[in-house]
């Protein structure tokens, strides 16, 4: 009898601890978006691309959408290479596992900006909002980089 009672007490404390933990997780942003950059576009080009690194410190989540004031629309695209030809296609969601990091990079997954009213000019910034299924919306300022002038400019954090 005594053992049973003490077990119940332990379980009660555990349950209280878990409830407290879940509140803490919900209050903090569990998804971090870093090293975002957009490729500069020449005049007349209708679409642009944004790259970044997404780290998920919380439970499994999915990137399900994006939008930007610099474009009429934004989609999540995946790239694949077949016979030396790189093709990209729209995907509905990008899964980001618990504790995982996903890199959006040239030649791979990216956020496509569709219908640019004006070119993306190197040295300026564009606003981007990423929509996550669980974490909600996360907005970032994205520096525009001319990759031809500085191939590794996106790695320069001081920019």
Residues that bind Cu ion (CB under 5 A): 77, 88, 112
Closest CA to 114 of 73, 69, 64, 65: 73
Which lies closer to Cu ion via its Cβ, residue 91 or residue 134?
91
Q: Element (H or E) spanning 21, and its range?
A: helix 2-27
Please tell me the distance from the alpha carbon of residue 129 to that of residue 38, in angstroms, as a whole number. 13
Closest contact distance (angstroms) between CB of 57 and Cu ion is: 27
Which lies closer to Cu ion via its Cβ, residue 30 or residue 41?
41
Closest contact distance (angstroms) between CB of 47 and Cu ion is: 7
119 CB burial (10 A radius; 0-12, 13-18, 19+): middle
Closest contact distance (angstroms) between CB of 41 and Cu ion is: 13
Which lies closer to Cu ion via its Cβ, residue 88 or residue 153?
88
Residue facing Cu ion at closest CB distance: 77
């Amino acid at each position: 009898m005594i053992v049973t009672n003490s077990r119940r007490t332990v379980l009660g404390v555990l349950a209280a601890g878990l409830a407290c933990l879940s509140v803490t997780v919900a209050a903090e942003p569990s998804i971090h978006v870093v090293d975002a950059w957009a490729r500069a576009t020449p005049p007349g080009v209708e679409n642009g691309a944004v790259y970044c690194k997404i780290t998920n410190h919380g439970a499994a989540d999915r990137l399900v959408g994006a939008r930007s004031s610099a474009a009429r629309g934004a989609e999540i695209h995946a790239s694949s290479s077949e016979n030396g030809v790189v093709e990209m296609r729209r995907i509905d969601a990008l899964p980001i596992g618990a504790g995982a990091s996903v890199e959006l990079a040239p030649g791979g997954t990216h956020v496509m900006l569709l219908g640019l009213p004006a070119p993306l000019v190197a040295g300026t910034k564009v606003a981007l909002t990423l929509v996550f299924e669980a974490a909600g919306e996360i907005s970032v300022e994205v520096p525009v980089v001319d990759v031809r002038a500085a191939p590794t400019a996106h790695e320069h954090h001081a920019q």
